[in-house]
Structure 1
């Protein structure tokens, strides 16, 4: 006896999308494992982090954050009219991000750092690799895979930044004005991840694009952790 298990596809969630989120979830787990081994974050977790650690973190992050809006803008310019919605989303995102580094600079100065030294700094090994990859990928025609990069970077802001900020405040006695960059990104990046989820579930993502998104997420996750591992190098 054969049982008909056919179901109208309109009543079912997209298998491809579900698989994509599962695959991205696996990438996120790998990222968390790498972050757990970052010395500075270990010290933050166990309460031995210092103000110099926090200053070094901001110094190193700034050199990469300042490139954020430019690579997003470059990606937007490489989406054709058939990818209009992605181009529009990238343009909006670049506009929202292009002042973020200024918040970070204010936090750095608020904890005694020199603005001239900060602006005269250079990327560490991980930041060089991350920014280089982002600009290279953004130069490709219709760089849909960068949605994977956004999944990682915006996810870190939404899921980890506020926790890090709160822990720095708890251990070092910092004021809100000294951790504003991280606090801001919990709310802003939560909104961005909502926008990203809407795109990933919109039906625009085929199997080939999903593969690109996952691969890009894998690379960016590893390089983001690397820049935290390679502070000052």
Structure 2
């Protein structure tokens, strides 16, 4: 049964609750807490970039896998995933450039491996993307793109304020404010289009809950 206006409102309310819980958890992440307090170091920032890169490099591949898992009855979602994968497939290179700009080397960051949280997050995303018609992944995008649109630019500005970084040293984060705002707008259009039924809404919320927890774990477990 198509989602009604009332059930759409309920879906956004449920996703808003997931987002609020994520923000509370992010406030307790050590590197983000130090950033807020103004005690963050350049090494902290380098470690953050180093760890993010290892998971971001998997972003376009799992989105592509999701696209291949949608049948023609879900053509809108398939098309959106294909476009998104194309837009994201070079994002990890921005992180590499930022990392080199703050004194790291390409050899270092490319030789890195995922931390515990990144392993869990990436594994979950590939597993879910392999399911037939993985509608729930819109919940994952709500979290991941929401972080880019709502938090990344603020983090970048704070890193610049505390560490005196130049624009070309925080490009990955600043870029994603605009890019992910566009993605969240496209996602909202799909969620309000009526193509998501009640079962799909449940999947979306559950996936958002899991991804929110795993993304926070990725930030908590730097270097683990």
TM-score normalized with structure 2 length: 0.98
SS at structure 1 position matched to 2:165: coil
Match of 1:178 among 156, 166, 169: 169
The structure 1 residue matched to 2:208, chosen from 200, 203, 217, is: 217
The answer for the alignment partner of 1:25 in structure 2 is 16
How far apart are residue 117 of structure 1 and its match?
A: 1.0
User: Secondary structure, in 3 states, of the residue corresponding to 1:205?
Assistant: coil
What is the rounded CA distance, in whole Å, between the counterparts of 1:16 and 1:73 in structure 2?
29
Q: Does 1:99 align with 2:106?
A: no
Q: Provide the secondary structure at the position in 1 that maps to 2:47.
A: helix
Task: Give 1:43's match in structure 2, choosing from 34, 39, 42.
Answer: 34
Residue 134 of structure 2 corresponds to 143
Specify which of 63, 73, 88 is matched with residue 79 of structure 2: 88
1:53-92 matches, cutoff 5 A: 53-92=44-83
What SS does structure 2 have at the residue aligned with 1:48? Answer: coil
In the alignment, does 2:6 pair up with 1:15? yes
* Alpha-carbon displacement from aligned partner over 1:104-125 (angstroms, at most 9, x marks no partner): 1000000001110100100000
> RMSD of the alignment, in Å?
0.5
Q: Deviations over 1:58-103 (max 9, x none)?
A: 0000000000000000000000000000000000000000000001
Question: Which position in structure 2 is the counterpart of 1:126?
Answer: 117
Note if 1:157 corresponds to 2:148: yes
Tell whether 2:158 aligns with 1:167.
Answer: yes
Q: Could you tell me which runs of 5 or more consecutive residues in structure 1 were left unpaired when the two chains were aligned.
A: 1-12
Matched, 1:110 2:101: yes
Q: What stretches of structure 2 of length at least 5 have no aligned partner?
A: none
Q: What is the number of residues matched between the two proteins? A: 221
Q: What CA distance in whole angstroms lies between the structure 1 residues aligned with 2:50 and 2:127?
A: 24
Alpha-carbon separation, structure 2, partners of 1:104 and 1:57? 10
